[in-house]
Amino acid sequence: MKIKWLRIDSRLIHGQVANNWVNHVGAGTIIAANDSAAKDDLRKTLLLQVAPGRTKSYVMSIDKTARCYKNPSYDNLEVLLVVENPTDVLRLIDAGVEVTQVNVGGITFKEGMTLISEAVSVSPEDVEAFKELDKRGVKLTLQQLPNTGASDFMNRLKSKKLI
Amino acid sequence: MVAIVIATHGNLSEALIGTAKMIFGNMENVAQVTFKPGEGIENLLDKYQTASGQFDDEPILFLVDLFGGSPYNAASRFVARQENMDIVTGVNLPMFVEVLGKRLAGGTLEELVQTAKLAGADGIKSFKEIFSHQKIANSAKEDEGDELG
The answer to whether residue B58 is domain-embedded is yes
CA distance B22 to A17: 10
The answer to whether residue B82 is domain-embedded is yes
Q: What are phi and psi of B84, to 5 degrees?
A: -105, 35
CA distance B15 to A5: 32
Helix (H, G, I), strand (E, B) or coil at B129: helix
Partner B contacted by A2 (CB < 8 A): no
Predicted model pTM: 0.88
Residues 6+ apart with CB under 8 A from A44: A37, A38, A59, B137, B139
B143 contacts A64? CB cut-off 8 A = yes
- CATH code: domain of residue A32: 3.40.35.10
Q: Is the model more confident about A78 or about A17?
A: A78
The pLDDT value given to residue A140? 98
Q: How far is B88 from chain A (nearest CA, A)?
A: 21
DSSP state of A77: -
Q: How many domains does chain A have?
A: 1
pLDDT, tens digit (0-9, with 9 covering 90-100), for A106-141 = 999 999 999 999 899 999 999 999 999 999 999 999
What is the mean predicted confidence (pLDDT) over B23-32?
A: 94
Nearest to B146 among A59, A70, A148 (CB): A70
Strands A2-9 and A101-106, sheet pairing? parallel
The pLDDT value given to residue A29? 96
Nearest to B101 among A20, A59, A71 (CB): A20
Query: Containing domain of residue A63, as a range?
Result: 4-159
The answer to whether residue B25 is domain-embedded is yes
Q: Taking the mean position of all CA atoms in its chain, how far away is CA A161?
A: 24
Is residue A31 within 8 Å of A82, Cβ to Cβ?
yes
Question: Does A73 have pLDDT greater than 90?
Answer: yes
Query: Containing domain of residue B93, as a range?
Result: 3-142
The answer to whether residue B92 is domain-embedded is yes
The answer to whether residue B19 is domain-embedded is yes
Q: How far is B31 from chain A (nearest CA, A)?
A: 19
The pLDDT value given to residue B141? 83
Q: Closest Cα partner for A105 from A128, A124, A89, A125?
A: A89
Could you give the C-alpha distances from A17 to A20, A86, A146, B94, B97, in angstroms and in order? Answer: 5, 20, 9, 12, 10
pLDDT, tens digit (0-9, with 9 covering 90-100), for B90-149 = 999 999 999 999 999 899 999 999 999 999 999 999 999 999 999 898 887 888 899 998
Q: How far is B114 from chain A (nearest CA, A)?
A: 18
- CATH code: domain of residue B65: 3.40.50.510
pLDDT interval class at B30 (50, 70, 90)? very high
Could you give the C-alpha distances from A121 to B17, B29, B33, in angstroms and in order? Answer: 26, 32, 36
The answer to whether residue B55 is domain-embedded is yes
The pLDDT value given to residue A18? 87
Question: Does A28 have pLDDT greater than 80?
Answer: yes
**Residue B28: closest C-alpha in chain A:** A147
pLDDT interval class at A16 (50, 70, 90)? confident
Its ipTM equals 0.80
pLDDT interval class at A23 (50, 70, 90)? confident
